[in-house]
């Protein structure tokens, strides 16, 4: 699978600290966004722990054949995907154990991960850092949001009040590190050439409507890097009340990839 990737992060207009952390490792086929929470810079610590732990485990997997299964994964997914799920479990334990330090009490983080495996991708997420797929002009949320309002919608409960209530919308039902175990959402993605995958923190979607996001992603006159900048700038223009992190992955057509490679070599 041939990819082109652009990314960026911004503290926003209202926050003093950027508690988002992200990772782009094209060589490993690994892309992560984590949004930390907790006072006294604890959120910043939690998100970085999550990203570093998953990255370190994934790197070790590249050099060792044995699995990293600390907990059975009862899902019909590949061994590589099962390892990825377990790396999230490990990250959860690392953050949870760190809470023994009073400075880090009740710190936590979301996490959304995309990992490539031949011609497919695996999505694993906990929390509300959304992942979208743009395909044939249509943008679809492919991650699972773990908030009270979203859980109620999935159960068919009338949550018209919760949908418009920021408190209900922002209370998460799954978070990395708060408990000693965590349930994760896993999804297999089979992207087509020309598709885009957007991984972001909720600081983007809370201040920029999905329609505006889709419009920027679908704009053929600007580069991938310019799209990332436009997304961050427009979220700040919309209020910028939170940290904003964006990873944008484009699945290249073979002929486009060759042109991109030749341009890079020159």
Q: Which residues contact 192 (CB under 8 A, 6 or more apart)?
A: 135, 251
| CB contact set of 199 (below 8 Å; sequence gap of 6+) | 22, 31, 32, 33, 112, 114, 129, 130, 131, 246, 247, 249
d(CA 75, CA 134): 26
3-state secondary structure at position 200:
strand
End-to-end CA distance of the chain: 22
- Residue 105 tokens read as 């009490």
The candidate with the shortest Cα–Cα distance to 55, out of 86, 96, 98, 25, is 25
**What local confidence, expressed as pLDDT, does residue 156 receive?**
81
| pLDDT tens, position by position, 37-67 | 987 789 999 999 999 999 999 998 877 755 6
Whole-number Å distance between alpha carbons of 14 and 36: 16
Query: Dihedrals φ, ψ of 33, to 5°?
Result: -125, 130
Question: Residues 59, 106, 183, 1: what is their CA dihedral angle, to the nearest 10 degrees?
Answer: -30
Domains of the chain (ranges, CATH numbers): 3-265 (3.60.40.10)
Between 170 and 80, the more confident residue is: 80
Reported confidence tier of residue 168, pLDDT bands at 50, 70, 90:
low
Q: Interhelix angle for 42-63 vs 79-98, to 10°?
A: 150
CB 20 within 8 A of CB 243: yes
Q: What six digits make up the tokens of 238?
A: 């919309």
**Structure tokens belonging to residue 100:** 């023994």
| Res 257 pLDDT > 80 | no
**pLDDT attached to residue 12:** 98
**Residue among 91, 33, 9, 97 nearest 58 (CA):** 91
The string of pLDDT tens digits covering residues 191-220 is: 999 999 999 999 999 999 999 999 999 999
């Amino acid at each position: 699978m041939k990819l082109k990737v652009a990314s960026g992060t911004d503290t926003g207009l209202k926050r003093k600290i950027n508690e988002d952390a992200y990772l782009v490792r094209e060589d490993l086929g690994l892309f992560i966004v984590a949004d930390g929470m907790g006072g006294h810079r604890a959120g910043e610590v939690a998100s970085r722990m999550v990203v570093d732990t998953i990255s370190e485990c994934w790197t070790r997997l590249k050099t060792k054949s044995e699995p990293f299964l600390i907990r059975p994964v009862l899902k019909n997914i590949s061994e590589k995907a099962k390892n990825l799920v377990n790396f999230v479990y490990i990250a959860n334990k690392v953050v949870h154990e760190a809470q023994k330090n009073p400075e880090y009490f009740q710190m936590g983080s979301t996490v959304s991960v995309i990992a490539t495996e031949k011609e497919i991708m695996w999505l694993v997420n906990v929390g509300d850092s959304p992942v979208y797929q743009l395909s044939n002009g249509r943008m679809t949320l492919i991650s699972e949001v773990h908030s009270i309002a979203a859980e109620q919608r999935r159960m068919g409960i009338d949550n018209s009040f919760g949908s418009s209530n920021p408190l209900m919308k922002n209370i998460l039902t799954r978070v990395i590190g708060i408990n000693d175990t965590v349930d994760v959402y896993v999804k297999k993605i089979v992207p087509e050439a020309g598709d885009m995958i957007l991984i972001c923190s909720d600081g983007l979607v809370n201040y920029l409507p999905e329609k505006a996001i889709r419009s920027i992603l679908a704009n053929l006159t600007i580069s991938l890097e310019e799209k990332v900048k436009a997304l961050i700038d427009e979220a700040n223009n919309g209020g910028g009340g939170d940290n904003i992190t964006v990873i944008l992955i484009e699945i290249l057509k073979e002929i486009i990839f060759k042109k991109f490679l030749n341009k890079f070599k020159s």
